[in-house]
Amino acid sequence: MDSAASGAAPATYDRIGVGYRRVRVPDPRLATLIRQALGEARTVVNVGAGTGSYEPDHAHVTAVDPSQVMLDQHPGTNKVRAGAEDLPFADGAFDAAMAVMTVHHWPDLHRGLAELRRVARRQVVFTWDPTHPRELWLLDEYLPEIRALEHARFTALAQVAEALGAHTVLPFPIPHDFTDGFQIAYWRRPEMFLDPVLRQASSTFAQLPSTVVEPAMARLRADLASGAWHRRHCDLLEQDSVDYGYRLLIADSPA
């Protein structure tokens, strides 16, 4: 969900959060995976909740986020403004804790994960592995600056899994028609990157100056017009999904 948790990230989301919900539409396939991982949990805390994507309908959900702009768009009634590293809840207060595309924003990853384990009996974390060998063509061909940003803020999946005590790691190949408009969603729809509204919903794009983004988008626009992009990536046009290193981690705290 690319949602913030604490530190500098709230300022980014206070800036880009307006209209976020219109672009970041929860994908039903990812929603199903997360719902299955949460199991029969009746009480859930969503840390880095943003606008509430992927929260289960069957549970009582408490949304936590440091950005008031994001929380104002959240449809729920139980909303708490806080960072992941200092959750204002008692030990074991929830059946499950969820964190979707947010742990890379936490200034203290280990402390945040420890808090998930403290306040909930089950932890469900969706994130990306920067050590995964396959990467989005956008980084290599147009915006290598994104690679530097992403690798600076994402922790290797093995380290996240170890810190969380994850017993299950589930791959999630990204479908070609993925509805949640974070960066990887458009791997087979390159023209979507030309839309500044869609780019604005990405925290990565929001951190890059227009002097970097605009020339890159001009090159992409030219390559789409000439057919060069399609010639380079004709193999992608025949694939329904691609594994870009997104994973769902599941852990259970000791009873």
Higher local confidence (pLDDT), 204 or 40: 40
Q: What does the CA dihedral 181, 106, 33, 250 come to, rounded to 10 degrees?
A: 160
Closest by CA position to 125, among listed 99, 103, 96, 107: 99
Q: Measured between alpha carbons, how far is 59 from 52 in angstroms, rounded to an integer?
A: 13
List pLDDT tens digits, range 125-145: 999 999 999 999 999 999 999
In the chain, the domains with their CATH numbers are: 9-252 (3.40.50.150)
| Residues 44-63 pLDDT 10s | 999 999 889 999 999 999 99
How does pLDDT run across 216-240, given as a tens digit for each residue? Answer: 999 999 999 999 999 999 999 999 9
CB 1 within 8 A of CB 100: yes
Q: How much is the pTM?
A: 0.90
Phi, psi of 168, rounded to the nearest 5 degrees: -140, 135
Cβ–Cβ under 8 Å, residues 47 and 87: yes
Structure tokens at 38: 């949460």
